[in-house]
Amino acid sequence: MGLELYLDLLSQPCRAVYIFAKKNRIPFELRPVNLLKGQHLSDAFAQVNPLKKVPALKDGDFTLAESVAILLYLTRKYKVPDHWYPQDVQACARVDEYLAWQHTTLRRSCLRALWHKVMFPVFLGEPVSPEILAATLAELDVTVQLLEDNFLQNKAFLTGPHISLADLVAITELMHPVGAGCQVFEGRPKLAAWHQRVEAAVGEDLFREAHEVILKAKDSPPADPTVKQKLMPLVLAMIQ
C-alpha cells in the first residue's frame, strides 16, 4: 500500500496538504473522512490518528498527524522544489516562523469565523448572538491585518520572492472565512494581489478544485441529531 492521505476538504489544513501533494505530483490514495458525519471519531480512523483529526497520513506502517508535519514530511521525502521550504537557513526560518505563528492566530480566527457565521446556525441549528459574531469578525480583522503587516509587508509572497509552505497554509486558512461569506480581501489591495499570485502559482484549476467544498459550506444540510450530539462538545472545544 502506497501513501494514503486521510482528508476532508472542508478542513483548512487538509486543503493545504491536498494542494501540495497534487501540485508536486506526489502519488497518493485519497481516503475521504467526512467530518460533518463524524467519521473522524470512528475506531477505524483512530488507528490512523489517535488524535482523531484530519489531515492524517499513512505511509506503509508509518502514520503521521498534524498538517505542518505532513507538509514537511512530503517536502523531504519527495524532494520538492526548494522554494517550498528553502535550504537557506534564514529563508527556512521565515517559513518555520509563519508555520508556528499561525496555529493560535490565523487558524483560530478563521475557524471561529466559519463556525460562528455559518456552521453553528446552518449545520448545527444553533443561533449565534450578534455580539459574539461581531467579536469574532473583529478578531479576524485584526489577525488578517497582522498577517499583512508582519508577514506579507511589501513582498511578493509571505516569506520572500517565491511561494512557500507558508503561503499555502495561509491561503487555505483565509478561504475558510471566504467560504463563510466574509470579504477578507476587500479593502486590502496588497493581500488581494498576494491571493492572486498564490492562486496563479498553485494553478487556478487545482485551487478551485480544492476549495469546492468550503465554498459550499453555506449549503450544508442540517446535522443529524445523533451526529450533532457527538460533534457539539468537540466543536465547542475546537473553537474556544
Partner 1 sequence: MKQEVPERGVLGLGWRRLKGTGSGPRAQAAYRPRFRAWRLWLVGVPNVCLKMVLELYLDLLSASCRAVYIFARKNSIPFDFQFVDLLKGHHHSKEYIEINPMKKLPSLKDGKFILSESVAILFYLCRKYSTPSHWYPPDLHTRARVDEFMAWQHTAIQLPMSKILWVKMLIPMITGEEVPAEKTEQTLLEVKNNMQLFEEKFLQDKMFITGDHISLADLVALVEMMQPMGSKYNVFLNSSRIAEWRMRVELAIGSGLFWEAHDRLMKLAEWDCSTLDPMVKEKICKLLQKFR
CA distance 13 to 168: 9
What residues have CB less than 8 Å from 128, skipping those under 6 apart?
116, 117, 120, 121
Q: Would you say 36 and 10 are in contact if contact means Cβ atoms under 8 Å apart? A: yes
Which residue, 1 or 89, is less far from partner 1 as judged by CB?
Answer: 89
Which residue, 116 or 223, is less far from partner 1 as judged by CB?
Answer: 116
Q: Would you say 16 and 169 are in contact if contact means Cβ atoms under 8 Å apart? A: yes
CB under 8 Å, gap of 24 or more: what pairs does 221-229 form?
221/123, 222/122, 222/123, 222/124, 222/125, 223/36, 223/123, 223/124, 223/125, 224/37, 227/36, 227/37, 227/38, 228/124, 228/125
Which residue, 146 or 156, is less far from partner 1 as judged by CB?
Answer: 146
- Residue 113 CB, shortest distance to partner 1, in Å, is 17
- Residue 173 CB, shortest distance to partner 1, in Å, is 14
Which residue, 146 or 206, is less far from partner 1 as judged by CB?
Answer: 146
- Residue 209 CB, shortest distance to partner 1, in Å, is 25
Which residue, 146 or 215, is less far from partner 1 as judged by CB?
Answer: 146
- Residue 149 CB, shortest distance to partner 1, in Å, is 7
Binding residues for partner 1 (CB under 8 A) = 50-51, 62, 64-69, 72-73, 76-77, 89-90, 92-94, 96-97, 99-101, 103-104, 146, 149-150, 237
- Residue 195 CB, shortest distance to partner 1, in Å, is 22
Q: Which cell numbers in the block locate residue 150?
A: 508582519
